Structure 1
């Protein structure tokens, strides 16, 4: 499993009847890899994993593995209401040929450290696959602070990476100082990638990469090389788009961007609805401006 570079949190495409469009999904996975991405993360928040049945999740993972494996890893998002269901998803992902797991805290219930530790530990121990802890206190109300991450690292050898989405770049530096090379740190907030790379992040679980893979890879590579002039040139152009990843309707916005670049459509599953009215017009204007001025 390669936890370096740009790894798309890939969207799940839907046909007009709202079933999964596996033919396009396979092509979309391949397009990401062809443009320099390191692998894909499926079934995450951006992949609308919460709206997919267990059987649909399994089929999505198998499509991704068939499309880009074995040379490019597929990481399965593991999120559920219950610990038992999370363990079941993890085992299914291993059987489907995934190379790693992205482990989320449980949906809805936000418990104390003892409970959250028990939940993610059950998933860490469910398979031999390497795991990436997903820390997103903004969305999931559970915050795995650096000292707790170190406790998990000491006890569970399959934990090797973290997707840090607290939106606080100081967390990247704190984790790097505590864990050294023991933990791969991947930033999960699009409009923090320049700062996070400078602070020591080794990878980017990206959102707008679904529509702009070449630009995302160029930005990340320049940031990692320390080419601040080139990185910031791309970053300045990219920021209006990257900020779309940090608002409640990020799925609708990113899928709209895909539609406007000719790689997907804007369909989303309920409770989400496609953008309309002034909201849609504003988003289209931002994307159109970016397309007209892309570096």
Structure 2
């Protein structure tokens, strides 16, 4: 199946009103800001989008509104994180009907499936839709590891076109290339490993902090694509304390707080998540505000290709 997802793809936050109802209008406002900043595609309802906190109807409402807003200007993907394979198939079909361009598929939630069960889950969902699929590997958060050997075994399914690699082990980029060649498009899914991953051959970046710092994400991406590694390293070193916020269990709260500090949306989350407070809040705010005070303006990127991407 033809699809090539490269560049900066935000895992977009879902906005809520103070009463925790989904605020579709505010979510779309944020999507517009990300598009204006030059992202290459959108992933709705990922971990950062609080997928598992929304019911099926709310998810479809968000997807339909986003697809209508984007109107074909860039790919719109949705996270698929359901408790059973049948529910994942049902939601994937609803997402296809809503007009999304692809799925970001996770293993089934809660139950820790073994390799045979995980592969069966992925194949069954693929058979239920006619969409390209980004396979999301995040053993750190979800305790299921999709190994290079498993991706090799699944390579006969043409709907599996990409891998979001979030194992926090950059060796995996090389291991997947060595095992599977150019079969999959590889995207970095861990913000504070992105430069390492790009050097090793990743072709895209699914990012959380891009929600608050979209221009800086795009700057780092363009510098790397232009081969301006010294300048990219300067931006990365400035950015890394912020990017560490993406690898914490409270990444949703941290990223939404960063959004507010940068003028995007609200920090309302849906319980059982709660906005952070006290010493923890003060520490995260210091990281965010220090970064805002020293944010790079960025040198001109010399590559015409990078600027046009």
TM-score tier, shorter chain, comes to over 0.9
Q: Does structure 1 residue 106 correspond to structure 2 residue 105?
A: no
Q: Show the counterpart of 1:8.
A: 10
Deviates more, 1:66-75 or 1:130-139: 66-75
Q: Please list the CA deviations of residues 198-226 of structure 1 after superposition, one character each: whole Å capped at 9, or x if unmatched.
A: 00000000000000001001112222332
Offset from partner CA, 1:179-208 (integer Å, 9 cap, x none): 232210001000000000000000000000
192-201 vs 107-116, greater mean Cα deviation = 107-116
Q: What's the offset of the Cα at 1:33?
A: 1.5
Please, what is the CA RMSD of the aligned residues? 0.9
Stretches of structure 2 that go unaligned for 5 or more consecutive residues are: 297-309
**Paired residues of 1:83 and 1:119 also in contact (CA < 8 A):** yes
Which residue of 2 is the match for residue 49 of structure 1? Answer: 51
Q: Which secondary structure state, in structure 1, belongs to the residue aligned with residue 271 of structure 2?
A: coil
Higher mean Cα deviation, 198-207 or 16-25? 16-25
Q: Which position in structure 2 is the counterpart of 1:231?
A: 232
1:147 CA displacement: 1.1
Provide the C-alpha distance between the structure 1 equivalents of 2:94 and 2:126, rounded to a whole number of angstroms.
14
Q: Deviations over 1:75-116 (max 9, x none)?
A: 011111111100011001100000000000011001211111
Q: Give the secondary-structure state (helix, strand or coil) at the position aligned to 2:128.
A: coil
TM-score normalised by the chain length of structure 2: 0.93
**SS where residue 125 of structure 1 aligns?**
helix
Q: Give the 3-state SS of the residue equivalent to 1:278 in structure 2.
A: helix
Which stretches of structure 1, 4 residues or more, deviate above 6 A after TM superposition? none
Greater displacement, 122-131 / 194-203: 122-131
How does 1:156-167 map onto structure 2 within 5 Å? 156-167=157-168
Counterpart among 78, 82, 105 of residue 80 in structure 1: 82
Deviation at 1:67, TM superposition (A): 1.5
Name the SS of the counterpart of 2:99 in structure 1.
coil
TM-score (norm 1): 0.98
Corresponding residue of 2:303: none
Question: Is the aligned partner of 1:201 residue 2:241?
Answer: no
Q: Where does 1:121-140 land on structure 2 (aligned, <5 Å)?
A: 121-140=123-142
Q: How many residues align?
A: 294
Distance 1:190 1:279 in 2: 21
